[in-house]
Amino acid sequence: MYKVLKREVLVPNTVYLKVEAPEIAQKARPGQFVILRVDEVGERFPLSLTGWDKDEGTLEVLFLIMGRSTMKLASLGEGDCIMDVVGPLGKPTEIESYGNTLAVCSTFGTGPVIRLAKALKEKGNKVVSVMEAKDEGYLFWEDRLRSVSDEIHVVLGDGSRGKHRQASQFVKEYLKSGNKLDRVFVFGRVFTMMECSQATKPFGIKTVVGLTPIMVDGTGMCGCCRVSVGGKTQFTCVDGPEFDGHLVDWELLIKRKRAYLIEEARAFDLWQVDKLRRIAELSELPERVSLV
């Protein structure tokens, strides 16, 4: 059992947890993930690691409420326990001295990118970061990202900061106006990763994306998380989760992520009916937003 030490709703539908997991914390590195199972009847699902503290023996995760499992996780209070946390899984991010780097994040990708930006800077890279959010109300941890970046750009979907509405538009223009980049990292929504990869492709700048397909065991045993990269089938859990964004078959990834939409909606609805009182208690949780 893994105890929740801290819980915070950062912005609508986005929850942060700090969890006691001393052994995993000793080994965690940027880019890795954990598999969770909230309770006895729960499913196994992956979350990227947002942070970890070896001395404290804790892990941090940050996630969107998208269905029954994430809702269950979000409705745990401080002091409650998660039944299973497995990790750290996946290959860590390769962090070298590249020169000029760009780190793009949206929603749940923000946590991993802060950790990554810090590690990139420690290797002597220049880090320009881009943060994408729906509007001012969905923006969080801007200061944290700023503190580990040489430069930060915030792109809001309502166009209220600067002229861009999507991170990919910013990336495209940044490159067009002659800025030199040696490596790009994108974490968060599939569309952010896909569009940023498309933006950097004509410039031939290697773009690393952190994929989040559906998983079951997370250790290479079932093949549920398979993706096609450069025409080759890869298992995200053991070969990834990071891949070359220029080679990922995005359409396949998106379709596979949506394979259980009907079942997910049914399970979520049933759970909500069952737990109306609990949901009311947690009234700080806003209504569900769309999936992607």
Half-sphere exposure of 194 (CA within 13 A, CB side): 11
Quick one: 29 or 146, whose CB is closer to other proteins?
Answer: 29
Contact call for residue 221 and other proteins (CB under 8 A): yes
Neighbours of 239 (CB within 10 A): 18
Tokens of 209: 């994306």
Give yes or no for residue 230 binding other proteins (CB under 8 A). Answer: no
Q: Which region among 8-16, 160-168, 259-267, 281-289 touches other proteins (by CB under 8 A)?
A: 259-267
**Contact assessment for residue 32 and residue 212, using Cβ atoms and an 8 Å cutoff:** no
Q: Does 181 bind other proteins (CB under 8 A)?
A: no
172-to-178, 179, 200, 252, 257 alpha-carbon distances in Å: 10, 10, 7, 24, 27
Beta carbon nearer to other proteins, 18 or 44 = 44
Site string for other proteins, 234-253 (x = CB under 8 A): -x--x------------xx-
**Is residue 292 within the footprint of other proteins (CB under 8 A)?**
no
Binding residue (CB under 8 A) for other proteins from 159, 233, 244, 281: 233
Task: Give the length of the chain.
Answer: 292
Using CA atoms of 16, 212, 148, 97 in order, give the dihedral in degrees to the nearest 10.
Answer: 150
* Interface with other proteins, residue 256, by CB under 8 A: yes
Q: What residues numbered 41-70 form the site for other proteins, per CB under 8 A?
A: 41-44, 68-69
* Alpha carbon 40 to its chain's center: 25
Tell me how far apart the alpha carbons of residues 127 and 147 are, in angstroms, rounded to a whole number: 11
Minimum CB separation of residue 133 from other proteins in Å reads: 29
Contacts of 250 (CB under 8 A, 6+ apart): 190, 194, 197
Contact 218, 237 (CB under 8 A): yes
Q: In what order do the strands lie in the sheet with 151-156?
A: 151-156, 126-133, 100-106, 183-187, 207-210, 242-244
Residue of the chain from 4, 9, 81, 267 that contacts other proteins (CB under 8 A):
267
How far is Cα 234 from Cα 151, in angstroms, rounded to an integer?
34
Among 54, 180, 258, 278, binds other proteins (CB under 8 A): 258
Part of the chain binding other proteins (CB under 8 A), chosen from 110-118, 119-127, 157-165, 221-229: 221-229
The answer to whether 270 contacts other proteins (rule: CB under 8 A) is yes
Q: Is 180 exposed, middle or buried (0-12, 13-18, 19+ CB in 10 A)?
A: exposed
> Residue 100 Cβ, how far from other proteins at the closest point, in Å?
32
Number of residues that bind other proteins (CB under 8 A): 43
- The binding track of 114-153 with respect to other proteins, each residue x by CB under 8 A or -, is ----------------------------------------
Instruction: Name the site residues for other proteins (rule: CB under 8 A).
Output: 23-24, 27, 37, 41-44, 68-69, 83-89, 216-217, 219-224, 226-228, 233, 235, 238, 251-252, 255-256, 258-260, 263-264, 266-267, 270
